Amino acid sequence: MDLMQKLEEIERNYLELEEKMGLPEIAGNPAELQKLARRHAELSELVGTFREYRQVLQEIDEAKELLKSEEPDLAGLARDEFHRLQPLAEDLERRVSLLLLPRDQNDEKSVIIEIRGGAGGDEAALFSADLFRMYSRFAERKGWKVEILSSSETGIGGLKEITARLDGRGAYSLLKFESGVHRVQRVPVTESSGRIHTSTATVAVLPEAEEVDVEVRTEDLRIDTYRASGAGGQYVNMTDSAVRITHVPTGVVVTCQDERSQLKNRVKALHILRTKLYDLELQRQHAAMAAERKGQVGTGDRSERIRTYNFPQNRVTDHRINVTLHKLDAILDGDLFELIDALLTADEAERLKSLEG
């Protein structure tokens, strides 16, 4: 089936959905109506772009016919129109091809992001704090809500690790390529000789799991409570409010102690656990498609060094797509838009290549 045939079939399905949504028996079934409306919304951009593409192709055919005219003025106008329409048709064809690519089922989801200090001790923990601020500022720019689920701080303002929820529609589609090892090159605040050090932090971006995505059976869980560690003095928690949940079949362990209520910590820990189990299943699926995804931006390998932040040169380099930007201050303040656009463009190009292949 060629491109036009495939698009015409999708348009027919789109029109059938519209008819079904207007039927009395569907209108009286909210669940079915919602299901059809969701599918209709998913197809609307593709169908709208296809209709625009088809119209431009028709206008190109008309211009070609007029090029045969014996009237020089008319033929000249047709030639100008053809040259105007041709690049527009090519752009629309590319857009419909992209819209035809299989969508990531998790793209519209919020995310849980985990940041951990790697090599570099205190400096790595400080860098982890910088990365968390960077993603928090980006979330603010997007109007997303940021909720810290668990964290472990150092005495000098660093973060050994932090887990947070970035709640916003489409968060995963924009941040899914942030998973991996981030490297920083700078003079640490603790360095008296002025030598540049290299430290690392790891980032994992997980699509937030809903209860329907993964089943967590109570009998598979071991739940322990303990006294939360705090800053000391009046802030020491005198009750066993911290929670550790172990998923026995997989060995996944989640701890949460940020809330003073054991119940709230348990709810948060279960939410993180569900997301981690969902991510494990996604990783298994990705491994099964490893050969197909080998050339793509999002390999899913969390041990891959993906980006370097060089302070002396005010430089950020993404090693997967060979993009370097000399605006480190702006990026650390949450201006990730140019980097994310470059990553998405590279991923689209790879996916189109695989489609053509």
Question: How far apart are alpha carbons 41 and 55 in whole angstroms?
Answer: 22
| Whole-number pLDDT of residue 212 | 63
| Sequence ranges of the domains in the chain | 3-100, 111-350
The number of angstroms, rounded, from the C-alpha of 135 to the middle of its chain's C-alpha atoms is: 12
Share of the chain above pLDDT 90, in %: 49
**pLDDT value at residue 231:** 45
Strands 242-247 and 221-226, bridge-based pairing: antiparallel
User: What is the overall mean pLDDT for the chain?
Assistant: 86
Whether 60 shows a pLDDT value over 90: the answer reads yes
pTM: 0.71
Q: Note the pLDDT of residue 230.
A: 54
pLDDT tens, 105-114?
A: 888 899 999 9
pLDDT digits (tens, 9 = 90+) for 200-242: 999 999 998 876 677 888 888 899 888 776 544 344 455 678 8
> The domain at 111-350 falls in which architecture?
2-Layer Sandwich (3.30)
Q: Beta 111-117 vs 197-207: how paired, if at all? A: antiparallel
Q: Which residue has the higher pLDDT, 207 or 291?
A: 207
CA distance 238 to 329: 41
pLDDT of residue 232: 40
150 token code pair: 């668990």
| Six token digits for residue 347 | 């991923």
CB atoms within 10 A of CB 157: 11
86-90, 241-245, 307-311: the lowest-pLDDT one: 241-245
Give the Cα separation of 53 and 313 in Å (integer): 45
**Is 306 a residue whose pLDDT tops 50?**
yes
201, 115 contact by CB (below 8 A): yes
Yes or no: say if 123 and 140 are a contact pair by the CB < 8 Å rule. Answer: no
296 pLDDT above the threshold of 80: no
Look at residue 295 and tell me whether its pLDDT is greater than 50.
no
Q: So what's the pLDDT on residue 264?
A: 86
On whether the CB atoms of residues 296 and 350 are closer than 8 A, the answer is yes
Q: What is the pLDDT of residue 291?
A: 46
State the SS3 of the chain. CCHHHHHHHHHHHHHHHHHHHCCHHHHCCHHHHHHHHHHHHHHHHHHHHHHHHHHHHHHHHHHHHHHCCCCHHHHHHHHHHHHHHHHHHHHHHHHHHHHHCCCCCCCCCCEEEEEEECCCCHHHHHHHHHHHHHHHHHHHHHCCEEEEEEEEECCCCCEEEEEEEEECCCHHHHHHHHCEEEEEEECCCCCCCCCCEEEEEEEEEEECCCCCCCCCCHHHEEEEEECCCCCCHHHCCCCCCEEEEEECCCCEEEEECCCCCHHHHHHHHHHHHHHHHHHHHHHHHHHHCHHHHCCCCCCCCCCCEEEEEECCCCEEEECCCCEEECCHHHHHCCCCHHHHHHHHHHHHHHHHHHHHC
Assess whether pLDDT exceeds 60 at residue 357. Answer: no
120, 199 Cβ separation under 8 angstroms: yes
Q: How far apart are CA 345 and CA 352, in angstroms?
A: 11
Whether the pLDDT of residue 100 is over 90: the answer is no
Averaged over 276-292, what is the pLDDT?
Answer: 70
Give residue 117's pLDDT band: very low, low, confident or very high (50, 70, 90). very high
How sure is the predictor about 256, in pLDDT bands with cuts at 50, 70 and 90?
confident
Residue 294 pLDDT more than 80?
no
Measured CA distances, 81 to 50, 51, 68, 72, 95 (Å): 20, 19, 14, 14, 21
Fill in the amino acid letter for 172.
Answer: Y
Mean pLDDT of 166-172: 94
CB atoms closer than 10 angstroms to residue 221: 15
pLDDT band with cut points at 50, 70 and 90 for residue 303: low
Residue 262: pLDDT over 90: no
**Euclidean distance between the first and the last CA atom of the chain, given in angstroms as a whole number:** 15
pLDDT at 356: 61
Q: What is the pLDDT of residue 299?
A: 43
Residue 339 predicted with pLDDT over 70: yes
Give CA–CA dist 35/327, Å, rounded.
Answer: 44
To 5 degrees, how large is the angle CA 182–CA 188–CA 192? 160
Q: Of 297 and 10, which is predicted with more confidence?
A: 10
